[in-house]
Structure 1
């Protein structure tokens, strides 16, 4: 890339190029020495915007959450539907960049997009009838379940879908021929194991968590 005008570099541009670099070559490629030439500046120019790699990673995570939030209607009246929309959008945003997602999905970003996500989820908890410590606790259950699932799927994609498809064949091969006398429960459900995919499980996990929130809210509500 050609040299650029001094002072023209922005944080958003650095985040964009860093995301592309890390996704193409992995997190180990995300160094200021590599970023400088990719941006057409000296590596020290990046340091004027980010103290270190960790601060840059947090900004990348914030950008992924911004992408997810752009798909969510905060005025949606149904609290469960708001959480569904946020969860699905977050999953899409992170899994679209799996090599980055595995680095940031478990971090506390402490930036604007994360604050908005926390506010959105806590608003849903309040609407469900939860307050105080219980609202905080159930917020963490919702957020941690979503991010844990997202990190898991990102890892799957980072490993490679071909490898995971080969692993998935085990449900149709090894599991269906296990001896019924030793593994009666497996043999009982073996024909269905291969039918259950990550899409099914994500949606089921999400609904189970939302059911728990609704149940806790109803239990604490005084009519």
Structure 2
């Protein structure tokens, strides 16, 4: 490569908005990783591809993260931080848990491909610790002792994240597949034989109305009703 072409290469990268490797930090790398997964899906996230998007050799990324797994934990933290941004507990323990669950769902749906990739991970970072402290604090305020607060915290968080990740995986599907599944509730289920499936046929007209929002709120209410019932027995 000629000297003029070598000089032009980094300038071209800069014009495309890529930061030079000397300006890399964890925040910049996570921004690029989040954008890459949002745009192209989990399989696109490799160290080499990430380095290329940043205009740097992939070894420059490894100066800030020990490997891809640490980047995934950083992305998990990003989702939690987005959910916790501006959050303040209020209105009693149940309303606190409801609000936090809805915020986490919103963050997962804003980045569905990222949520599918990292929802099962333990971020072990400040935003996660903050969220855990809020949930445990709400459960202790409900009257639970430390052991039960720890158990119910794990159950509540895992169930809420599983539900949000499931919904995110649906959002991450192609639009044709999503629409086909939605139509099934209004088409195939309405057409089931009442002789063969009498109970299903009886409720079939209501199945389409149980959309994603209804499913999330119903499941959340069922879980928190159970927690509230146990708190009342203390």
Fold equivalence (TM over 0.5): yes
Q: TM-score, normalised by structure 2?
A: 0.88
Task: Report whether the alignment pairs 1:61 with 2:86.
Answer: no
Task: Report whether the alignment pairs 1:33 with 2:48.
Answer: yes
CA distance in 1, matches of 2:149, 2:20: 50
- 1:138-178 deviation per Cα after TM superposition (whole angstroms, max 9, x unaligned): 11221011100111011101112431221121222222222
Unmatched segments (≥5 aa) in structure 1: none
Task: Report whether the alignment pairs 1:134 with 2:148.
Answer: yes
Q: How many residues align?
A: 219
Change (3 A) 1:175 1:37: closer
- 1:6-58 deviation per Cα after TM superposition (whole angstroms, max 9, x unaligned): 64211111101110011111222212211223222221111011011010011
Q: Cα offset for 1:71?
A: 4.1
Partner of 2:30: 15
Task: Report whether the alignment pairs 1:117 with 2:156.
Answer: no
SS of the residue corresponding to residue 179 of structure 1 reads coil
Change (3 A) 1:38 1:137: same
Q: TM-score, normalised by structure 1?
A: 0.92
In the alignment, is the contact (CA less than 8 A) between 2:20 and 2:54 conserved in 1?
no
Question: How large is the Cα RMSD of the aligned pairs?
Answer: 1.6
Change (3 A) 1:15 1:6: closer
In the alignment, is the contact (CA less than 8 A) between 1:71 and 1:89 conserved in 2?
no
Q: Cα offset for 1:4?
A: 5.1
CA distance in 2, matches of 1:176, 1:28: 37
Q: Larger deviation: 3-12 or 28-37?
A: 3-12
Aligned partner of 2:87 among 48, 58, 72: 72
CA distance in 2, matches of 1:179, 1:23: 42
* Structure 1 runs (4+) greater than 2 angstroms displaced: 1-8
After superposition, residues 1-223 of structure 1 pair within 5 angstroms as 1-2=13-14, 7-74=22-89, 76-220=90-234
